[in-house]
Structure 1
Amino acid sequence: MFDDLELINMSVRILRFGSLLYEHTWRRYVGLTMCTFIISTQLYYMFRTTEGIDAVIKNSYTLVLWLNTVLRGYLLLQDREKYEQLLSDMKSLYDALKKSKDFYIQQLLIEVNSTGKYMARANLFLGLCTCFGFSIYPLFAVDRALPFGSMIPGVDEYKSPFYELWYIYQVVATPMGCCMYIPYTSLIVACIMFGIVMCKSLQFRLKTLRRMKCDDLTVQKNITECIQYQLRIIDYITRLNGLTTYIFLLEFLAFGALLCALLFLLLSVDSMAQAIIICAYITMILAQILAIYWHANELREQNLAIAAAAYDTEWFSFPIPVQKHILLMILRTHKPAAIMIGNIHPITMELFQALLNASYTYFTLLKRVYT
């Protein structure tokens, strides 16, 4: 379906295999049911545990990951038609750009396909490595342990054969969760990357407009098409933001706290293997957040750059109606379409820096209190 659109092809195929997009099979029920049951046992554990703060921090991290994973799965099912329509429109927009004879636009498409493909593979590899870390973490514990802290009412999960069965259950469910969580992130980042390509293609068309020797009617027609394309970009970004804004708000709140907690957990590890696994957890958080924030920031910047490209058309030399149209384009970019955090604040690198600063501040506070 998206064979020539490589930046989303791999992610869509995985989500389709899990029956979260385009298909309705038993696989969606198996994956979501197994993951939901793990969350229920983790929540029961968090309310009943008497373990130390290091165990609570580690299991809080995994609980947030599982909650985020299952939330993404259910939201995908709830808004499945909206996601599929967005991807269908993205394919139409991609095909329209692909028909362009401009070398610059063709290079943009080649670059975004290559970057999106390798990003999806790298994210999936990192996610599977983290799954492997979860699975082998109990092997380095002094006593019996499970990949995820959990309690089942009426069952002692640390006694045989319950321990072995529950361990296998968690190990099997972990890749299922990974194949819901990682492809979703890669898919959203790929959609943002394509939005950047659309903005750059509009800038290119505006910059080349002043070099075209044509009559006033042709110029007005080209400007009208540019305005229509700008509206399509705004509509595309607005719809993408509507599907993701509250998920990003949850991640912003949860991952900031967990990053702080995992840094604190590094102070109390017993072995080098545990330290490496915790570093892998931190790396996964930073990689996921940075991929989203970097490209969302770039998307906003490219929207702002449309104004500069419109101004560089030497609009003041065009007929009055064309000047008005160009000025309207410039005015619209003063409120750039962007991916938002809970529809409150645009996602930027400044926000990412603020998140890191806040996490480190609370980490130093925890360090002073508990050491």
Structure 2
Amino acid sequence: MEKYKNLPLYSVNVKIFLQLGLIGASTRTRQILLALVPVFTYLGQILNLFKTSGGDIGETGMNFYMMAQLTHCLVRFLMVVRNNERFVQFLQCIDRWYKDIEQNSDPEVVHMLQDVTTHAQKLTRIGFYTATIGALCSYIYPFSFEERKFILDIHYLFFDAKQSPFYEFFFLLQALVFVPTFVFVYLPFSNLLLISLKFGEVILMDLCVKLRNISNQNEVTQLRQFKECIWYHERIITFRNDLEYLISIDGFFHVALFSLMLCMLLFFLSLVKDYRQILSALAFISFNFYVIGITYYYANNFSNESLKIANAAYDTPWYEGNSELRKCVQIMIARSQRPLELKSGGLYPMTLENFQAILRMSYSYFSMLQGFSQQ
């Protein structure tokens, strides 16, 4: 049974994945049919990019950016489909954890869990409202030109896609199938990552509260409670490892894409004069800056929260316990000295410091491109 889909924490994000057949008891045929339109459009986009590479810099830049975004969407699609069972197990784990905290945890932690749930629902609504506005703008954008244009320009070898009736067919296909598919694959993936990171903060806070509530009235009870906290900490480490496994490749691709595209879009802005292309480039920069910025911000908060466990363990009345309890405290403090960081591609920790480093690197490449263009 897919009971986890009704958990308020996820809002509609998991339901969208289930309806699309990306996770759960889906068939491979359904997933292949869902991927046909993006893949078919992607091939046409590659051909169009080669065809227009020597033409207008504005058109080439926009086509390159859209191809990169489509590539990112396909990467996320393949990751979810390939790790179908791991995604379901991860979501089921959060579902059980969520209900356990509601029933058995400290009122302060339960209140924070409710706040995170409300925050997650607002985050989902904001994301889909923004995506709806972006989709409407993408529908209007082609009609601002005198010649025929697509939402995502495509070219095919055997026929001219801009001639009737091919133009009408492909435009409707992109508007009614491609754009909604892109939104319903890309956005829920981002939302689920952010929600998982916020939930990670809750369980870390729950562990700190459990440590501080350890009583000192009975040595046996004290040792048992502390061992339960060690087991709880092990669950959190497993949670972090599972989350990193599911998003690691996407994180690495997103960093590479963001640093490259930010550099190119800034260079693109310094060359073009068409206000439509300038507004589009600014919108794309803002979108990518928001997505990767908020992801690194939440990942950084999760990492910082994990460092508080050592202080909470030290604040327990370990000095009144036996030698076994003191060894357990030393173990937990030692394990908590290294923050629980998520890494992009298993290499680059998702922290605000690294986010700033990405921005500096992108600006350096932009300055280098500008210097070459002026020579």
2:198 alignment partner, one of 193, 197, 202: 193
Query: Which residue of the other structure, out of 308, 315, 337, is the alignment partner of 1:312?
Result: 315
Aligned 8 A contact 2:5 2:14 in 1: no
**Alignment partners' CA distance in 2, 1:101 and 1:205:** 8
| Aligned residue number for residue 341 of structure 1 | 344
Farther off after superposition, 114-123 or 330-339: 330-339
Q: Secondary structure at the match of 2:213?
A: helix
Question: How high is the TM-score relative to the length of structure 2?
Answer: 0.92
- CA deviations over 1:220-252 (Å, ceiling 9, x no partner): 011000000000000111011111111110111
Provide Cα deviations, 1:251-273, integer angstroms capped at 9, x if missing partner.
11111111122222233444444
Residue 162 of structure 1 aligns with an amino acid whose one-letter code is F
* 1:239 counterpart = 2:242: yes
RMSD: 1.9
Structure 1 equivalent of residue 161 of structure 2: 157
Aligned partners of 2:16, 2:272: CA distance in 1, in Å?
A: 35
Counterpart in the other structure of 1:227: 230
Unaligned runs of at least 5 residues, structure 2: none
Which one is further off, 308-317 or 171-180?
308-317
CA distance in 2, matches of 1:101, 1:293: 28
1:308-355 residue CA offsets vs partner (Å, 9 max, x unmatched): 211222433432211110110011112333211111121101111111
Q: Does 1:279 align with 2:268?
A: no
Classify 1:366/1:128 alpha carbon distance in 2 versus 1 (closer, same or farther; 3 Å): farther
Could you say if the C-alpha distance between residues 116 and 34 of structure 1 is closer, same or farther in structure 2, counting changes exceeding 3 Å? same
- Whole-angstrom CA distance in 2 between matches of 1:253 and 1:222: 45
Identical pairs, percent: 26
Distance 1:261 1:125 in 2: 27
1:18 aligned to which of 17, 20, 28? 20
* Mapping for residues 1-371 of structure 1, pairs under 5 Å: 1-2=3-4, 5-24=7-26, 28-49=31-52, 50-172=54-176, 173-209=178-214, 212-370=215-373
SS in 1 for 2:307: helix
Q: Secondary structure at the match of 2:24?
A: coil
| Contact 1:14/1:183, CA 8 A, preserved across alignment | yes
Would the aligned equivalents of 1:127 and 1:284 in 2 still touch at CA under 8 Å? no
CA distance in 1, matches of 2:73, 2:306: 31
Which deviates more, 348-357 or 50-59? 50-59
Give the 3-state SS of the residue equivalent to 1:260 in structure 2: helix
- Residues in 1 aligned to 2:253 and 2:119: alpha-carbon distance in whole angstroms: 27
CA distance in 2, matches of 1:142, 1:255: 32
Counterpart CA distance in 1 for 2:167 and 2:97 is: 52
TM value normalised by structure 1: 0.93
How big is the shift at 1:142?
Answer: 4.5
User: What is the DSSP-based 3-state SS (H/G/I as helix, E as strand, rest coil) of the residue aligned with 2:11?
Assistant: helix
1: CA distance between counterparts of 2:102 and 2:6?
10
Q: Distance in 2 between matches of 1:46 and 1:276?
A: 21
Shift of 1:153: 0.9
Aligned partners of 2:364, 2:146: CA distance in 1, in Å? 32
2: CA distance, partners of 1:202 / 1:110 = 17
Deviation readout 1:81-125 (Å, 9 max, x if unpaired): 110011111111111111125211111110110111111121222
